[in-house]
Amino acid sequence: MSDATVRYETPADGVARIVLAREAQRNAQDKRMTYELNDAFDRAARDNAIKVIILAADGPHFSSGHDLRDRASINDFRHVSTFGGFDKPGAEGRQAVEEEIYFGMCWRWRNIPKPTIAEVQGKVIAGGLMLVWVCDLIVAADDATFSDPVVAFGVNGVEYFGHPWEFGVRKAKELLFTGGTIGAEEARQLGMVNRVVPRAELKAHTLALAQRIAQRPAMGLRLAKQSVNQAQDAQGFWSALQAAMSLQQLGHSHNAEVHGMSVDPTGAEVIKREAKQV
């Protein structure tokens, strides 16, 4: 479809490249993009000829996060989780929606039994972090920056709460408390990013890495990925994500009671003001 929000490419043998294609919106994720991205991941996962999946994005920025202007109904799409009751009032319906389109989707993508590589440039804000964190490897352009400023909305952070695992405990707290930003090289030093390359070399470098990985047998790659993921899960990763998601819902419920909406309305102004100061 010419107006699709996600593009699917096969740039080399054994490699699929999924591209976020909402450049005008800085690849903000509306519901349609989320479901089209899920379809693309499923397509690559089910294609026996594909061994490695690259996640990339059009334009100067990888993703500005969730599209807060999105008013589409979740019932316009084919659901992928066992959650229902999306239209129920209060916390019950709100949690169901977020479990489906945020937390549940990320967990599905994280556990695709094929190596995934995020190819990242420019800004990666809030919900954009969720997309790169589910990938096994991250290759970043030297202009990439990472941030999750949504504590300003009165919640704990984005729904897939990988912050302590990705940044480390101390840095996660600093970034969440301040709404601050880190660059690609600092992210590499923290272990969140695998490689930092010049912006002009990002696409070619990522593809070369994918092609090298694709030379390994699919079974070996699957087992290696599952082994590392299982080690992380044994450390409590899944339980920690679930606990943070519960606190996310507490934050939404508090805001609904105090402000009449699921996020603190002053948050947007705080984030805009601080963005201009950077």
Q: Rounded to whole angstroms, how far apart are CA atoms 174 and 258?
A: 26
181 bridge partner residues? 147
Q: Which helix (H) or strand (E) holds 229?
A: helix 218-234
Query: Which long-range CB contacts under 8 A does 220-225 form with residues at least 24 apart?
Result: 221/51, 221/52, 221/114, 221/115, 222/113, 222/114, 225/113, 225/114, 225/115, 225/136
Q: Look at residue 80 and tell me if it is in a domain.
A: yes
Q: Rounded to whole angstroms, how far apart are CA atoms 188 and 107?
A: 23
- The type of residue at 134 is V
- The type of residue at 248 is Q
Q: Look at residue 198 and tell me if it is in a domain.
A: yes
How big is the chain by its Cα radius of gyration, in Å? 18
Q: Look at residue 219 and tell me if it is in a domain.
A: yes
| pLDDT in 10s for each residue of the chain, 278 residues | 458 999 999 999 999 999 999 999 999 999 999 999 999 999 999 999 999 999 999 999 999 999 989 999 999 999 999 888 999 999 999 999 999 999 999 999 999 999 999 999 999 999 999 999 999 999 999 999 999 999 999 999 999 999 999 999 999 999 999 999 999 999 999 999 999 999 999 999 999 999 999 999 999 999 999 999 999 999 999 999 999 999 999 999 999 999 999 999 999 888 877 766 55
What tokens were used for 88? 């129920």
Q: Look at residue 1 and tell me if it is in a domain.
A: no
Q: pTM for this structure?
A: 0.95
Q: Rounded to whole angstroms, how far apart are CA atoms 172 and 170?
A: 5
Q: Which helix (H) or strand (E) holds 273?
A: helix 267-277
Q: Look at residue 243 and tell me if it is in a domain.
A: yes
Q: Where does 121-217 have alpha helices with state H?
A: 127-133, 163-167, 169-178, 184-190, 202-214
Q: Look at residue 157 and tell me if it is in a domain.
A: yes
Q: Which helix (H) or strand (E) holds 35?
A: helix 31-46
Q: How far does CA 103 lie from the centroid of its chain? A: 10
| C-beta of residue 117 within 8 angstroms of C-beta of residue 136 | yes
**CATH no. for residue 119?**
3.90.226.10
- In terms of residue numbers, what domain contains 99? 6-277
Q: Rounded to whole angstroms, how far apart are CA atoms 44 and 108?
A: 13
Q: Which helix (H) or strand (E) holds 12?
A: strand 6-12
DSSP conformational letter for 4: -
Number of compact structural domains in the chain:
1
| C-beta of residue 138 within 8 angstroms of C-beta of residue 118 | yes
